Amino acid sequence: MASAIERVLEIREKALKEIEEAKNLEGLAVIKNIYLAKKSELTSLMGLMRELSQEEKGAFGKAINDAKQAIQDRWAKKAQEMEAKKLQEQLEKEAIDITLPGKEMKAGHINPYYIVIDEVSDIFASMGFEIVEGRDVETDHYNFELLNVPKDHPARDMQDTFYINENQLMRTQTSAAQAHTMIKNEGKKPIKMICPGKCYRRDDDDMTHSHEFGQIEGLVVDKNVSLADLKGTLEMFVKKMFGEKREIRLRSSYFPFTEPSVEVDVSCAKCDGKGCAMCKGTGWIEILGAGEVHPNVLRMCGYDPEVYSGFAFGVGIERVAMLRYGVDDIRRFYQNDIRFIKDFNKN
């Protein structure tokens, strides 16, 4: 009996020592398997009970249970300490030094060309205009003929362009979208649209000319659309785009696809119409061409000019951006000079 209890105490001491010396959680798991599993030595010692007297049984059973409990408690405590230590080490290893300076995020900027398209589109959309997409490669038919510019028309001289073949060309004006929209609406539906996009011409590039530039076309077709409607619409546009104080002036002009045709000036924002270098002393700055849609154009595009009338206009995108933001050279829009775009975005 004495030796059996001694054996229990021995196991107990050995187990507690091993627990104390365990290096990690894996080692601790092995110890648990040896001393606390169902088939551990302590459990098997219970077999000796049969040979003991009633009194001895009590003392022996107590020794075994005490040993088990002590091992269990110490083991749990050690396991908890090790878990906490491991977590602490992990936290230290993965710590982020929030005092380090962060990485600077460089956000891109929108080219003023596209800002103007968005602004003009917003203004016309608020007046109920639809925004349609045209195409850069056009046929001679849509770019010229349906706009009342037949093959031998002198107006073609000013709009030489890049030809893909005899019939296909890079469009010289967004006005081509007028013909597409009218034909799509089959000569009966009313139209109220704008079409922004690129145009191409064989121009010598200088401060105000580029072989590639943007226009925004506008077209309204319905019954009884007059020049007064054109004036009211453009006045609204100019005030929203350039400020409430701006006025417009219509000068008679010529375009093959409008009759009458006008050129529209806006009062100079810099001198408020008094005359300065920006407006060349006149107090006015030309911003767009416009007019009543020519009856030939309406007819060729399927609308009866006896029933329908309309107005159209074409605005140069870079021209608006240059005026609005004081840009001196059209080529700046295409040079991808980051300083220009950054500077501009401060506005």
Q: Least distance from C-beta 113 to ligand DAH, angstroms? A: 17
Q: How far apart are CA 226 and CA 265, in angstroms?
A: 19
Residue among 45 and 317 whose Cβ is closer to ligand DAH: 317
User: How far does Cα 274 stand from its chain's mean position?
Assistant: 42
- Extract the tokens encoding 250: 């219509």
Q: How far apart are CA 136 and CA 143, in angstroms?
A: 10
Which one-letter DSSP state was computed for residue 253?
E
Between 72 and 253, CB nearer to ligand DAH: 253
Minimum distance from residue 345 beta carbon to ligand DAH (Å): 29
Element (H, E) at 47: none
Residue 134 or residue 314: which is nearer to ligand DAH going by CB?
A: 314
Minimum CB distance to ligand DAH, residue 122 (Å): 20
Closest C-alpha to 32, from 64, 82, 3, 68: 68
Q: Give the footprint of ligand DAH on this chain (CB under 6 A).
A: 173, 175, 217, 255, 258, 289-291, 312-314
CB of 255 to ligand DAH, least distance (A): 4
Tokens of 198: 């690129």
Q: CB-wise, 273 or 316, nearer to ligand DAH?
A: 316
Q: How far apart are CA 1 and CA 54, in angstroms?
A: 12
The minimum distance between CB 286 and ligand DAH, in angstroms, equals 11
Residue in the block written with tokens 């100079």: 268
Q: Nearest distance from residue 195's CB to ligand DAH, in Å?
A: 10
Report which residue's Cβ sits closest to ligand DAH. Answer: 314
In which residue are the tokens 């196991």 written?
11
Closest separation in Å from C-beta 218 to ligand DAH: 7
CA angle 332, 176, 135 (to 5 degrees): 65
Residues 32 and 18: their CA atoms lie apart, in Å, by: 10
CB closer to ligand DAH out of 161 and 175? 175
Max Cα distance, the chain (Å): 131
CA distance readout (Å), 339 to 107, 111, 253, 319, 329: 14, 11, 39, 20, 14
Considering beta carbons, is residue 75 or 313 the nearer one to ligand DAH? Answer: 313
Q: Which is nearer to ligand DAH, 169 or 290 (CB)?
A: 290
